[in-house]
Every structure is written in structure tokens, then in C-alpha cells.
Amino acid sequence: MKYRKLFQFAFIFVCMVFSRTLPAAQTSTASDNARAEENLVHYGDLIDVDIIGSFDYDWRGRLTPEGFIDGLNFNEGPIFGLCKTEEEIALAVAQSYGKLLRDPKVVVRILDRSNRATSLLEGAVKKPQRFQIKRKVFLNELLIVGGGLTETANGEIRIFRPQSSSCGATAAAAETFRSEDGEKRERFVKTSRIGDSTSISIKIPDLLSGDKESNPQILSGDIITVLEAEPVYVIGGVNNPRQIAARSKLTLTRAIDSAGGLAKNATEESVTVFRRKGGETKVLEIDLNKVKAGQEEDLVLQGFDVIDVGEKGRAKKKNAPIIQSNNANETQSKVLPLRIID
């Protein structure tokens, strides 16, 4: 319990420091800022096209499913607007209307961004929720907003990025790059293509270490899942029977210690591990006295193992007990609260 609290404190502290220092390291030009994800036109945006000095040519509406601004009066054809800046669209409209009007002045504005795809934070976080993103935001900030990680986190975060939800949906595949000291090293961030979408895998220790590649910008429509470790269950003669996350090669003795240690009525020579494998259950009988004496190996547990520590006066269980998982994150995304990041 003490180490878990220290980990949570360290995670939040490092993320807060990282979130403050990262923007300074990622300075960009005015052109880069103009083309930032949040400044580009997305599906669902309400767009206003104003031809200065004329009402007949003005237009207001949303993109077609194909990403075009369709319906501009007297325009020869639709103008592609998806993932374009206001200035880029204004220039395209001016060039098109230049055949009808003399030196037209065009102003394009995004009036409403509230219909963009929402992002989702789920899995082993304390407060799963949805986000409506209206400014640049990075992974560490959303994890802090989500209350930090739970004890069931297995150390990995996956980001699923649908191609049609954002303008930055393409990501570089895993590759090598030169660090500041010129030494080549492999990127911690692994990306893969799933059809037209992208999946990004991030190791939590790499995020905590300050690796910039492990703290990506979160885009509209991203689904962020903090992966949960498979559970193991410790029951019987322990002080605190409970569900424990099976990660980092969890051993039998460590699991029993995590469950409060042996109770006074425990029988150390009679520990049963029920291991589900396919449609069968394997029963392992273990003597803790021999494990402590080094006569037997300390069993490395697997997900969904059930450890039954024997108790004096109680018959040994022959079959695995039915245990219901206490996963608190089974809430469907549609009922999660929505938070606006602006």
C-alpha cells in the first residue's frame, strides 16, 4: 500500500512538471501554430464564409461527408475544406470567385467546434471520462485530469486513433532516432496501422522518465486505454482476502503478502492454486514451508489464478470457487461525464 501511494504521487508530480516544461521544449513557428490540430477544420465544425461587401456570395454550413464545402453560390465546384486552415480555405474561395468578382476579400471563420468527435479515457484510471478538445493537450495532462492510475494498471497505455476523427491521425512507425548525445536508440513508442486508423502503445515508465515521444498530443476522437493487469484472487487463510493485479511476474508469496499475510489459523503446508487453462482447471498443491526453505520454487502466478490458503478446521476445496471480478471500469463510454478542454 505504501509503495503504491508513492508511485501515484511520483506519477502525478512528474506529469505535472513534464506538462509545464514540455511546451517550452516544443516551440513552433507562427505557421506551425496556424496549422495546429485544433485550428484546422474538422467534420462537424460550423464554418462561416464571408465575402466582404457582398451578401449574395456568403455561406455558412458544415463539411460534406467527403470533406468539401458544397453550396457556395455561383462557385464552379465544391472546395475541399477538411483539415485546412481558415486562411487556406479563404484563399481557395477567393481564387474561385476571382473569375466572377474583382479582387474578392474573403474571411473564413470556424464558428463552432463543439460537434467534433470526443476523446475517451478509460481503463485503469480513477475517473474515466470523455473529452471535447478545443486546444492542444498532451497525454499526461489528461491522465492527471482522470485522477491518475489505479492499482490495476499493467504499465502500458494504448491510444487508438480513428483516421476520420482528426487531422493528425497518421503517426510514424516505430523507428530509431538520435538522442541529444548523438547515440542511436529505439523509440519507446510503438505505432501500428489498423486499416486507415492508428494504434499507439506507450510504456508508463517511459512517460514518467520524461521521454517526449511517450507523451503524444491527444487528438479529437482518440480512445486512450490504460491497460489493466489480469487479476489473481487470494482467499482463505489470509488477513485481507482480495483481488490483486497480476503484473511484473507476481509470485505466490508476494501475492499472499499483498493480501495481508497469513492469518493465525492458516495452514502454510496446504496452499492450493487453481489455474484456468482453456476449458480446464489445473490444481497446484504448494507447501509454503518448502518454498521459504528454498526446497520449492516460488510459483509465478498467471492471470485469473485463484490462491486458496488452507485454514485449520476447514476442508480443502476440490474445485475452483466462482469469484466475481470487482472491476470498477465496466461503465460504458456513453454514460461517462464529458469534460471540455479549452
Lowest mean pLDDT among 14-18, 98-102, 134-138: 14-18
- Who's near 24: CB < 8 A, 6+ residues apart? none
DSSP letters, 285-315, are EE-HHHHHTTSS--PBP-TT-EEEEEETTSP
Of the two residues 195 and 294, the one the predictor is more confident about is: 294
Task: Specify the CATH superfamily of domain 2-29+116-228+331-341.
Answer: Outer membrane lipoprotein wza domain like (3.10.560.10)
Q: Which of 243, 224, 251, 219 is nearest to 156 (CA)?
A: 224
- The pLDDT value recorded for residue 192 is 61
Half-sphere exposure of 52 (CA within 13 A, CB side): 9
Residue 296: per-residue pLDDT: 93
Is residue 330's pLDDT more than 90?
no
Give the per-residue pLDDT at 54. 83
**pLDDT at position 176, please?**
32
| Model pLDDT, residue 191 | 62
pLDDT over 90, % of the chain: 49
Give the number of other Cβ atoms within 10 Å of residue 280's Cβ. 7
Q: Taking the CA atoms of 262, 265, 270 and 275 in sequence, report the sign of the dihedral they define.
A: negative
Task: Report the Cα–Cα distance between both ends of the chain, in Å, rounded.
Answer: 36
Report the pLDDT averaged over residues 94-105: 88
At 256, is the secondary structure helix, strand, or coil? helix
The SS3 of residue 26 is coil
157 and 121 Cβ atoms separated by less than 8 Å: no
**CA nearest neighbour of 14 among 215, 200, 247, 187:** 215
CA distance 266 to 261: 10
d(CA 91, CA 68): 15
Q: What local confidence, expressed as pLDDT, does residue 77 receive?
A: 76
Q: And the C-alpha cell for 262?
A: 497469513
What residues does each domain of the chain span? 2-29+116-228+331-341, 43-112, 231-311
Name the CATH superfamily for 43-112: wza like domain (3.30.1950.10)
Q: Which helix (H) or strand (E) holds 204?
A: helix 204-208
Q: Can you name the CATH fold of 231-311?
A: Outer membrane lipoprotein wza fold like (3.10.560)
User: How far is 5 from 202, CA to CA, in rounded Å?
Assistant: 22
Q: What gap in Å lies between CA 138 and CA 179, rounded to an integer?
A: 21
101 pLDDT above the threshold of 50? yes
Query: Which tens digit of pLDDT belongs to each residue from 301-325?
Result: 998 999 999 999 888 887 777 776 6
Q: Which grid coordinates belong to 202?
A: 506507450
Q: Hey, do 43-112 and 231-311 end up sharing a CATH topology, with the first three levels equal?
A: no
pLDDT digits (tens, 9 = 90+) for 193-246: 555 678 999 999 999 898 889 999 999 999 999 999 999 999 999 999 999 988
Which DSSP helix (H) or strand (E) runs through 2?
A: helix 2-25
* pTM score, whole prediction: 0.71
